Amino acid sequence: MNDFERKLETYADIAVSVGVNIQKGQTLVINASISASDFVRKVCRSAYKQGAHYVYVHWIDEELTRIEYELMSEEALQNIQPWLVRGFEKMADNGAAFLYIISPHSNNVSGIDPKRLDLAEHAASQAFQSFNNRLMSMKVSWTVMAVATKKWAKLIFPNVDSEQAIHQLWEAIFQATKINEANPKLAWNNHIATLTEKAAWLNTLHFRYLHFTTPQSNLTIELPENHVWANALATNLNGNTFISNLPTEEVYTTPLKNGVNGIIKGTKPFYYDGQLIRDFSLTFKEGEIVSFSAKEGYEVLERILNTDEGAKYIGEVAIVPHHSSISTSNLLYYHPLFDENASCHIAIGHAYTTGLKDGQFIQPEQYDEQGINSSFIHFDLMIGSEHLQINGECMDGTLVPVIKKGNWVTDFDE
């Protein structure tokens, strides 16, 4: 076995043992592109070796999806099969773990009428809303990870040929997910322990507000009294831990829906439906985005913000140091799974209830009562840089520096 194949197998093992943390007798549900079939087989083999009872693979064919976007009737585009939704809900009820192996930028929707894309995406969001709430409240185990694709690699490394680009991207993925470490599982344990220490420190401070300032931004985010800081390590309803994102560098919490005021400037582009949103800014008043701008992709950003009422509010605020390992790679990945782990960020749309005390038990109909946002979308927007200052304001008005020049004011050892 060559070195690359060994790393791929280690990556598959980490996804199963550290990501979803498969339990003996548990079902694993994999969502993946057919282009990732070789890697999916490695994951399946690892899952069975680690005690999985059954592995179900839900395949995605991007070329077939494009045909459907082009030729299906609008009625059919919005007809999400109830048996498919019930199947995922039933597997979640039975304690399955869910692994999303994404293949960024393998979708080809160039030239498709945005209205048709919105119809299909909105219908899917509505149909799977109950299932997605299970994921976002961490009731079941789930993990998102990525495999390299040629189109994605060429986007990141445009000045080399395709083979070299995909090689460089795989190496970047291995580095970001600790596969290059001598003992990747131990490295992950140590890393999560550091993130947990950061969250614990923030939880001792009981902030009421967070103040974000840069030369171009001045934003205040109010936090609920019962907010808690968390990281990608979560515990499902059966008491089993899992890590929702591979990689991860963030600690996050849930803001008050109506408690955001000021202006924030985006620091990294945002990629959506094959189009780039670049150099954007958002202005908030009482939680709502009341105006926005973008040098590129204004119409795309407008589409996203008009998805539903909650799309103009935020559901997450996350802190990531500017010197995180992904940030110091100086790569722009054009995908939030990686870019959000290089930068502090906010997420427009649906709130993670895990940012609240006993959040797993909060029902969707209680979101208004809790003062948090509900939406069909959840998109991370990067706002961090070496210029960012974050001060937390305690209940008594005391200001505590949290981030200075983009990095933690308190040392945490990796």
pLDDT of amino acid 411 = 74
Tens of pLDDT, residue by residue over 79-109, are 999 999 999 999 999 999 999 999 998 888 8
Predicted local confidence at residue 392, as pLDDT: 97
Long-range CB pairs of 152-159 (<8 Å, 24+ gap) are 152/103, 152/104, 152/105, 152/106, 152/334, 152/335, 155/105, 155/334, 156/331, 156/332, 156/333, 156/334
| pLDDT computed for residue 208 by the predictor | 97
Q: Are 320 and 249 in contact (CB under 8 A)?
A: yes
Interval 123-155: pLDDT, tens: 999 999 999 999 999 999 999 999 999 999 999
Neighbouring CB atoms inside 10 A of 183's CB total 10
Task: Write out the two tokens for 187.
Answer: 């490295």
Does residue 168 register a pLDDT over 60? yes
Q: Alpha-carbon distance 167 to 154, whole Å?
A: 11
Residue 52 pLDDT > 60: yes
Instruction: Name the 3-class secondary structure at 76.
Output: helix
Cβ–Cβ < 8 Å for 354, 316: no
How does residue 189 score in pLDDT terms, banded at 50, 70 and 90?
very high
- According to DSSP, the β-strands at 217-222 and 207-214 are antiparallel
Three-state DSSP at 366 gives helix
* Residue 413: pLDDT over 70: no
Instruction: Identify the band that residue 272 occupies on the pLDDT scale cut at 50, 70 and 90.
Output: confident
Q: Residue 329 — pLDDT band, cuts 50, 70, 90?
A: very high
What average pLDDT does range 303-325 have in this prediction?
95
Averaged pLDDT score across all residues of the chain:
95
List the helix and strand counts (H, then E) for the chain. Answer: 14, 19
Give 329-356 as a 3 state SS string.
CCCCCCCHHHHHHHCCEEEEECCCHHHE
pLDDT of 372: 96
Q: What confidence tens digit (pLDDT) does each residue in 342-388 have?
A: 999 999 999 999 999 998 889 888 999 999 999 999 999 999 999 99
- Strands 27-33, 54-60: pairing is parallel
What mean pLDDT comes out for the span 178-185?
97
Closest Cα to residue 51, out of 30, 26, 72, 81? Answer: 26
* Residues 370/338, Cβ–Cβ less than 8 Å: no
Position 110 scores a pLDDT of 83
Task: Say if residue 410 is exposed, middle or buried (CB neighbours under 10 Å; 0-12, 13-18, 19+).
Answer: exposed
pLDDT score for 51: 97
Average pLDDT of span 9-28: 98
Q: For position 273, what pLDDT does the model report?
A: 80
Each residue's pLDDT tens digit, 212-223 = 999 999 999 999
- The CA angle 216-220-225, to the nearest 5 degrees, is 160
Q: Considering Cα of 328, then 329, then 331, then 334, what sign does the dihedral take? A: negative
Task: Tell me whether the omega of the peptide bond preceding residue 269 falls within 30 degrees of 0, making it cis.
Answer: no
Backbone φ and ψ of 403, nearest 5°:
-125, 130
d(CA 326, CA 340): 9
Looking at the predicted structure, is the pLDDT value of residue 414 above 70? no
Determine the Cα–Cα distance for residues 213 and 222; give it in Å rounded to an integer: 15
For residue 390, the surrounding DSSP H or E stretch is strand 389-394
